[in-house]
Amino acid sequence: MFLIIVFCQLSIAHCTLPIDCFLSLSPMSSTVRVRFAPSPTGGLHLGGVRTVLYNYLFAKQHGGDFIVRIEDTDQNRYAAGAEEYIFDCLKWAGLEPDESPYHGGEFGPYRQSERKAIYRRYAEQLVNDGHAYYAFDSTEDLEKMRLDHKTEQNPAPQYDNSIRMKMRNSLTLDADEVKILLDAGTNHVIRIRIPEHETLSFTDMIRGEVSFDTAVVDDKVLLKADGMPTYHLAVVVDDYLMKISHAFRGEEWLPSAPVHILLWKYLFGLENMPQWAHFPLILGPNGKLSKRDGAKYRFPVFAMNWTDPKTGELTEGFKEKGFLPGAFINLLALLGWNDGTDQEIFTKEELIEKFSIEKVHSGGAKFDYEKAKWFNHEYIKMTDPEALLEIYKDLLPSYFNNKDDAYKTAVFSLVKDRCHDITDLAEQSSFFFNTPETWDLSAVMPKWNEEKKNFFVDWANKLMELVGWDAQILEQSFKELATEKNIKPGELQLPLRIMLVGGKFGPPVFSIADLLGTKETIARINNALPIF
RNA sequence: GGCCCGUUCGUCUAAGGGUUAGGACACCACCCUUUCACGGUGGUGAUACGAGUUCGAAUCUCGUACGGGCUACCA
């Protein structure tokens, strides 16, 4: 309750005072602590980054701390390098935590695998208090149970109050027998004992009051046979121990909320439970967005490229696709949230100022790659060519490196307004680095004749003696010669473009010639002329 | 099947009882441009359905339909 009151006061204070002023005035602001708790099993998904973002924005807005806790309790799903990868992604996106395995903090360790003993203690406490029990059922026992109880009405039988008394556990076995099994080190798990008929509810910051009947909740495993906790136990214990004030996670967790509410009630008291918000899912064309959708519909789903260490399979990332971090964050922020105005482009600082959980949507949002590219386009347009070079030089094809930085920067300033991603960038800039080898002849041939050919022969000669070299001078000389030869300059521009570029695209043709330089421009004309 | 969450243009969304239901992406047309874009102007296009409450409902209530999530010793 205390935390809730403090938070309300902060919200009010924030409405009337500028952030920095409010921060300096209120030492209580450190009470906001949020966390992102990924499991290092593979690439970092769009939805994951959005969860990070909303956590981060909320924390920063309230002068609080953003914690990253690694939920590596499943050894079977462990993926080598995934943990470092996650932090690389956060760094790229500019969403770095205040506390994590790599960022220090008073509440470590921040890796659940390193907290194993802690969970066992709480699990035992629950058993002692009668809220949990030991279960000795083998995988085969469980399979058999599910098979035996499976009906059309109940296609997925659960280990719940209706069947727990038919299984091998410390509820059905004698105390002595249990002790013998335990002492012998028999494989066992600890399950929560869900009360039979209780209504559990909580107030979600986005959805309002949500309630559940425990009659349909099963006796979830809390501690696995290998001694590791499941998510359910670990999240409650760690959120308490790490003093998390607000717990945000994806909507897929909503159904397990009753288990967590019970755990809070039994272990730490409901009054200490963080405020919860369940974010809407990010949907693909068919339900929850998956990396499969990315592969199928050809758009990135992960923040950065991820190579599966077992299969070697590469899944594309937004970074490598040419997305700027600011654009990525911006588009993610707007996927499920807006500030109530028509504004769509926000800096990170603006997002920190304007974000609010209450304005996050409750319905899932279908990811639209076209809109995502539009955001990136907007950011590319407003980024300096020098900065673009810094960002893109490692991503662009190797041919790109055969020129100096000044040249590359000039290329960017010429082409950036027409680029949405790295593909555009490569396409729009490749002819600045490589002489065309094929030409779009269909664009020239219908109106091509000897006079025009002669024009280019003569113009190429004129270019060698030209005084000064810029787009304007080139255009002037071009038009003068055309007039002299009684040819409409407009009819010659497209052929020139095809000679220099190879196709019907790119920046203004004289700007291209300007950047290409005397030698290259003449070479390209002479190169193409025999073909035309 | 059960439980939970959701439903405004194709997509992301605004409108918190009274608006010609607004914006953006995409699409189309025109302008600019003797390339392709950028940019500008305009256009097509939505409150899932049915009851109820109300003078008045996209908005509140209920039902139906549809969509999604969960239903592991995964998170």
Grouped pLDDT means (10 residues each) for chain A, 532 residues: 34 31 37 96 96 98 97 95 98 98 93 97 97 97 95 93 95 96 96 95 94 95 97 98 97 97 98 96 92 93 96 95 97 96 96 96 95 97 95 90 93 95 93 94 88 94 89 91 91 94 94 94 94 88
Q: Measured from the CB, is A512 under 7 Å from any atom of strand B?
A: no
Token pair 């923040």 is found at A303
> Residue A82's closest CA among A308, A316, A299, A328?
A308
Give Cβ neighbours of residue A394 (< 8 Å, ≥ 6 apart).
none
Q: Which residues contact A2 (CB under 8 A, 6 or more apart)?
A: none
Residue A18: its pLDDT value, please?
30
Task: Kindly name the residue from A291, A319, A321, A348 that is annotated as catalytic.
Answer: A291
d(CA A401, CA A467): 30
Q: How many Cα atoms occupy the beta-carbon half-sphere of A16 within 13 Å?
A: 5
Domains A284-382 and A435-532 share a fold: no
- The bases of strand B with some atom under 7 A from any protein CB are 1-8, 10-16, 22-26, 34-38, 67-75
Burial class from Cβ neighbours inside 10 Å (0-12, 13-18, 19+) for residue A124 reads middle
The 8-class DSSP code of residue A274 comes to P
| Counts for chain A of helices (H) and strands (E), in that order | 21, 14
ipTM of the complex: 0.95
CA gap A62, A13 in Å, rounded: 10
- Give, in Å, how far the C1' of B8 lies from the CA of A369: 22
- Residue A12 CA to residue A138 CA, distance in Å, equals 54
Closest among A166, A143, A167, A159 to A218, alpha carbons compared: A159
| Cβ of residue A39 lies below 7 Å from strand B | yes
CATH number of A435-532: 1.10.10.350
Residue A355: closest CA among A343, A365, A366: A343
**A150 CA, B1 C1': separation in Å?**
10
Nearest-10 crossing angle of helices A82-93, A325-333: 90
Question: Among all strands, which nt has the closest C1' to A278 (CA)?
Answer: B5
Residue A447 CA to residue A266 CA, distance in Å, equals 85
Q: Is A291 a catalytic residue?
A: yes
Angstrom distance (rounded) from CA A35 to CA A491 = 63
Report how far residue A35's alpha carbon sits from residue A41's, in angstroms, rounded to the nearest whole number. 18
A496 contact to strand B (CB, 7 A limit): no
Angle at A74 between CA A69 and CA A75, to 5 degrees: 115
* Å separating the CA of residue A281 from the C1' of nucleotide B53: 33
| DSSP 3-state of A284 | strand
Alpha-carbon torsion A330, A332, A335, A337, what sign? negative
Residue A45 DSSP symbol: B
Does domain A284-382 fall under CATH 3.40.50.300? My reply is: no
Helix runs in A223-320, H state only: 231-241, 257-267, 291-297
Distance A371 CA to B26 C1' (A): 8
Domain extents in chain A: 284-382, 384-434, 435-532
The two three-digit tokens of residue A235, written as one number: 């999240």
Alpha helices in A298-392 (DSSP H): 325-333, 348-354, 369-382, 385-392
pTM: 0.92
The b/e string for A74-90 (b: 16+ C-beta within 10 A; e otherwise) is beeeebeebbebbbebb
Residues 417-446 of A with CB under 7 A from strand B: 417-418
Find all residues with CB under 8 Å of A468, minimum gap 6, and list them: none
